[in-house]
Amino acid sequence: MKKEEKEHIDKEQSSLSFIIELIIYFVLIIIITNFITSHVVQRTIVEGWSMENTLYDGDNIIVEKVSHRLGRLERFDIIAFYPNGKDTKDYYIKRIIGLPGEHVRITDNKIYIDSVPLEEDYGKTDILGYEGIAEEGIVLSEDEYFVLGDNRTDSYDSRYEEVGPVKFDKIEGKAVLRIWPLNDFGTLD
94, 124, 170, 174: the catalytic one is 94
> CA–CA separation, 148 vs 152, rounded Å?
7
**What one-character DSSP code corresponds to residue 173?**
E
Residue 136's CB is within 10 A of a number of other CB atoms, namely: 9
Residue 2: the pLDDT is: 67
94 catalytic? Reply is yes
Q: What angle do CA 130, 57, 122 make, to 5 degrees?
A: 55
Residue 175: the pLDDT is: 94
50 catalytic? Reply is yes
| Banded pLDDT at 9 (limits 50, 70, 90) | low
| Banded pLDDT at 6 (limits 50, 70, 90) | low
> CA–CA separation, 94 vs 7, rounded Å?
65
Which backbone phi and psi does 75 adopt, to 5 degrees?
-55, 140
pLDDT tens column, 169-183: 999 999 999 999 999
CATH classification (class only), 71-171:
mainly beta
pLDDT tens column, 41-91: 888 899 999 998 899 999 999 999 888 777 789 999 999 999 877 777 789
Residue 31: the pLDDT is: 84
14, 38, 50, 167: the catalytic one is 50
Q: Where would I find the beta strands (DSSP E) of 46-167?
A: 60-64, 78-81, 92-98, 103-107, 110-113, 116-117, 138-139, 144-148, 166-167
Residue 174: the pLDDT is: 94
